């Protein structure tokens, strides 16, 4: 049998690939776009071992992975592994991309056999073909990387991989690459929409490679240049003082960086057709190509220059929406404003309090994390505009099945604290975790202490709704139980930890204070979880993930103490005024005229203030 003729991946795709109705608005024969050709052909370039693509949405990267899989099944049979962020993502990719491709691409359907067959050689995550195999795994599962040897490994949406690696096994990309070591002609493909600057995996990989960009000619002077957002301009209507009163995105045009010509959208396709990929850096290791591509090159109507300007104008006043624009349209990382929320930066802000409870504190709340052999408790002091002070962090060890440790906890929660004003102050509200192995004990502890505002709580999975839901009594002890919107609470805490203290001002809204006796271990626990942003069909999905083996009790206690303050919802101005009187016991300071519950503080960025 004669060997198959050598084909590049773009040639293979143009000859054999089909788009399926399930995942394309224009099903039928595939046709490679000019800027896609160079990306596809990186995969079949014999001089390259590793390919890293930092990209926006709307550029067809998923199809690059699909076509690479198809090529190595049909034209160059090889063992293949595709790594998605989670097992659920891997299953979705199999059903939504691989299955339709095997069905609708004739040369692949001949090799795939009966798609309804459920044998050990044909499952959702593992498929066998003549001379090759395809394995789909989730980056959150170490099992998927064991006992497999692959020539081709494709890592998809790497910025959505859980931080800290696949359990105790280590970094997911390193694990996947290790599976290819026995192949001299291995291919390592990775790509992603980037997320946060300094935390983005794909940005790091892009910077390790030769950093290719797609250069296009100016129709006027012929100067070759990559498209940049800063050069995409549009007309604006100004008032007499020069202030913008109306944007006109329909006038969007590109300004040549060399001659200054204003290039209309109508010339974009000509420019892209004449373009070429050029490396802009030396790779750190030979054989590593990296590329950046973004939506401005796409010929589709939803990526026209006027449409991109419209999307920017819709997003520019919201940091959250602007981050989505920067990540998914520009294909660039987002740089957050404010201070870092890491161990060293938080440790450096520790200060000496003038009393157990500083003068600007009006209310104390506590969060109790319940472990199998101990309670961990954080007491927070609250001032105006959600400014907070860490007052105490306590660990109480004991057998939680016995009443003695619960009595010790109760005594601690009744502690009377010395306020800088000279008054006494007690804890006003407590949230106690009931989600562990001692749920019934937690209910029995909290229910009779409802009048002292000792609340049983559990974490919820909802990504919408209030920070804390109304209590439910649908448990066997009829104990009122609050459900926390854990994701939102963590966003709130993270944003507040990043707030920089205002110089020469007494108060800083939202700022978090810490006393000098908090040690490094406390701050490691407080900064233990990392926020991961995954893009699913162009939509951001933000999740908080705890790296394997890391303790996160201070982080959890902070959420619970914050939730207690949300439930209490004090009229802080009235409370602070009352605290300034010189005598008496402030007791459990509480709301007389509740205000609206606090919302997450947004992170401001100086990015693209236009």
Alpha-carbon distance of 489 to 434, in angstroms, equals 17
Residues paired with 133 in a beta bridge: 79, 128
Per CATH, is 343-579 categorized as 3.30.420.240? Answer: yes
Alpha-carbon distance of 67 to 310, in angstroms, equals 32
Which residue in the block uniquely carries the two structure tokens 């502690």?
Answer: 415
Quick one: pLDDT at residue 604? Answer: 33
Residue 547 has pLDDT above 60, yes or no: yes
Alpha-carbon distance of 598 to 289, in angstroms, equals 47
Q: Cα torsion for 296, 297, 298, 302, to the nearest 10°?
A: 10
Domain range 9-211+281-293, CATH class? alpha beta
Residue 546: pLDDT band (50, 70, 90) is confident
pLDDT per residue as tens digits for the range 525-536 = 999 988 777 776
Residues paired with 397 in a beta bridge: 374
Quick one: how far is CA 237 from the chain centroid? Answer: 37
Quick one: pLDDT at residue 456? Answer: 96
pTM of the model: 0.70
Q: Decide whether 9-211+281-293 matches 343-579 in CATH topology.
A: no
Secondary structure, 3-state, 473-494: CCCCCCCCEEEEEHHHHHHHHH
- Return the higher-pLDDT residue of 163 and 112: 112
Assign residue 37 a region (left: φ > 0; alpha: ψ between -120 and 50; beta: otherwise): alpha
Residue 463 has pLDDT above 90, yes or no: no
Q: What is the average pLDDT across 7-35? A: 94
Residues whose CB falls within 8 Å of the CB of residue 212, separated by 6 or more in sequence, listed in order: 38, 277, 278, 279, 280, 289, 290, 291, 292
Q: What is the average pLDDT across 565-577? A: 93
Closest by CA to 390, choosing from 338, 431, 345, 351, is 351
Residue 587 has pLDDT above 60, yes or no: no
413 close to 391: Cβ distance less than 8 angstroms: no
Quick one: pLDDT at residue 464? Answer: 73
Please report the DSSP string for 180-218 in residue order. TTT-TT-EEEEEE---BTTT-HHHHHHHHTT-EEEEEE-
Total length of the chain = 610
3-class SS of residue 532: strand
* Mean pLDDT (the chain, rounded): 89
Q: What is the widest separation between alpha-carbon atoms in the chain?
A: 98
Residue 369: pLDDT band (50, 70, 90) is very high
Residue 243 has pLDDT above 80, yes or no: yes
Alpha-carbon distance of 51 to 257, in angstroms, equals 29
Residue 63 has pLDDT above 70, yes or no: yes
DSSP E strands: which ranges in 398-513?
417-418, 424-425, 427-433, 454-460, 481-485, 512-513
Residue 61: pLDDT band (50, 70, 90) is very high
Q: What is the average pLDDT across 569-591? A: 71
Residues whose CB falls within 8 Å of the CB of residue 11, separated by 6 or more in sequence, listed in order: none
Q: Give the torsion sign (CA, 288, 11, 227, 294).
A: negative
Closest by CA to 447, choosing from 427, 473, 468, is 473
Quick one: pLDDT at residue 240? Answer: 86
Quick one: pLDDT at residue 590? Answer: 43
Quick one: pLDDT at residue 530? Answer: 83
Quick one: pLDDT at residue 167? Answer: 56
Q: Where are the domains of the chain?
A: 9-211+281-293, 343-579
Q: Is 240 exposed, middle or buried (0-12, 13-18, 19+ CB in 10 A)?
A: exposed
Percentage of the chain lying above the pLDDT 70 cut = 91
339 close to 318: Cβ distance less than 8 angstroms: no
Phi, psi of 284 (to 5 degrees): -70, -25
Both tokens of 267, joined, read 């010339």
Residue 609 has pLDDT above 70, yes or no: no
Alpha-carbon distance of 101 to 45, in angstroms, equals 24
pLDDT per residue as tens digits for the range 261-299 = 999 999 999 999 999 999 999 999 999 999 999 999 999
pLDDT per residue as tens digits for the range 435-444 = 889 999 999 9
Run of H or E residues at 152: strand 152-156
Quick one: pLDDT at residue 180? Answer: 94
Quick one: pLDDT at residue 166? Answer: 57
């Amino acid at each position: 049998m004669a060997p198959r003729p050598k084909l590049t991946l773009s040639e293979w795709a143009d000859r054999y690939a089909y788009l399926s109705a399930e995942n394309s608005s224009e099903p039928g024969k595939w046709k490679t776009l000019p800027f896609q050709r160079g990306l596809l052909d990186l995969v079949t370039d014999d001089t390259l071992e590793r390919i890293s693509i930092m990209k926006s949405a709307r550029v067809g990267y998923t199809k690059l992975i699909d076509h690479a899989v198809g090529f190595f099944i049909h034209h160059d049979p090889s063992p293949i592994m595709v790594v998605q962020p989670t097992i659920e993502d891997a299953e979705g990719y199999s059903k939504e991309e691989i299955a339709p491709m095997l069905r609708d691409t004739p040369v692949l359907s001949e090799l795939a056999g009966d798609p309804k067959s459920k044998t050990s050689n044909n499952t959702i995550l593992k498929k066998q073909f003549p001379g090759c195999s395809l394995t789909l795994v989730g980056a959150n599962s170490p099992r998927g990387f064991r006992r497999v040897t692959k020539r081709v490994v494709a890592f998809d949406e790497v910025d959505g991989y859980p931080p800290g690696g696949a359990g105790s096994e280590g970094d997911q990309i390193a694990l996947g690459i290790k599976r290819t070591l026995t192949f001299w002609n291995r291919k390592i493909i990775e790509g992603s929409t980037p997320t946060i600057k300094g935390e983005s995996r794909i940005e790091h990989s892009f910077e390790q490679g030769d950093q290719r960009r797609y250069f296009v000619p100016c129709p006027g002077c012929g100067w070759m240049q990559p498209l940049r957002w800063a050069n995409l301009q549009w007309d604006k209507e100004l008032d007499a003082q020069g202030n913008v009163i109306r944007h006109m995105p329909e006038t969007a045009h590109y300004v040549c960086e060399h001659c200054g010509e204003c290039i209309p959208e109508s010339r974009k396709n000509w420019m892209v057709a004449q373009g070429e990929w050029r490396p802009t850096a030396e790779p750190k290791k030979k054989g590593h190509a990296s590329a950046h591509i973004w939506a401005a090159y796409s010929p589709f109507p939803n990526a026209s220059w006027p449409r991109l300007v419209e999307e920017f104008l819709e997003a520019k006043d919201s940091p959250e929406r602007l981050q989505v624009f920067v990540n998914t349209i520009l294909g660039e990382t987002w740089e957050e404003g404010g201070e870092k929320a890491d161990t060293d930066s938080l440790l450096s802000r520790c200060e000496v309090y003038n009393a157990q409870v500083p003068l600007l504190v009006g209310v104390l709340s506590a969060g109790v994390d319940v472990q199998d052999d101990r309670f961990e408790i954080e007491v927070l002091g609250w001032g105006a505009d959600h400014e907070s002070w860490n007052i105490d962090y306590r660990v109480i060890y004991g057998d939680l099945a016995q009443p003695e440790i619960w009595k010790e906890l109760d005594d601690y929660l009744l502690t009377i604290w010395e306020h800088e004003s000279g008054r006494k102050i007690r804890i006003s509200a407590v949230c106690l975790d009931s989600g562990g192995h001692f749920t019934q004990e937690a209910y029995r502890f909290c229910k009779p202490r409802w009048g002292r505002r000792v609340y049983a709580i559990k974490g919820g999975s909802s990504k919408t709704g209030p920070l804390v839901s109304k209590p439910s009594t649908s448990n066997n002890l009829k104990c009122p139980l609050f459900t926390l919107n854990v994701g939102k609470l963590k966003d709130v805490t993270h944003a507040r930890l990043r707030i920089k203290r205002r110089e020469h001002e007494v108060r800083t809204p939202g700022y978090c204070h810490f006393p000098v006796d908090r040690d490094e271990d406390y701050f490691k626990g407080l900064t233990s979880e990392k926020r991961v942003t995954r893009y699913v069909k162009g939509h951001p999905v933000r999740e908080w993930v705890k790296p394997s083996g890391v303790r996160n009790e201070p982080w959890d206690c902070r959420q619970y103490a914050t939730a207690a303050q949300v439930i209490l919802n004090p009229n802080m101005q009235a409370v602070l005024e009352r605290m300034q009187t010189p005598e008496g016991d402030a007791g459990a300071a509480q709301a007389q005229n509740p205000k609206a519950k606090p919302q997450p503080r947004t992170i401001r960025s100086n990015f693209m203030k236009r």
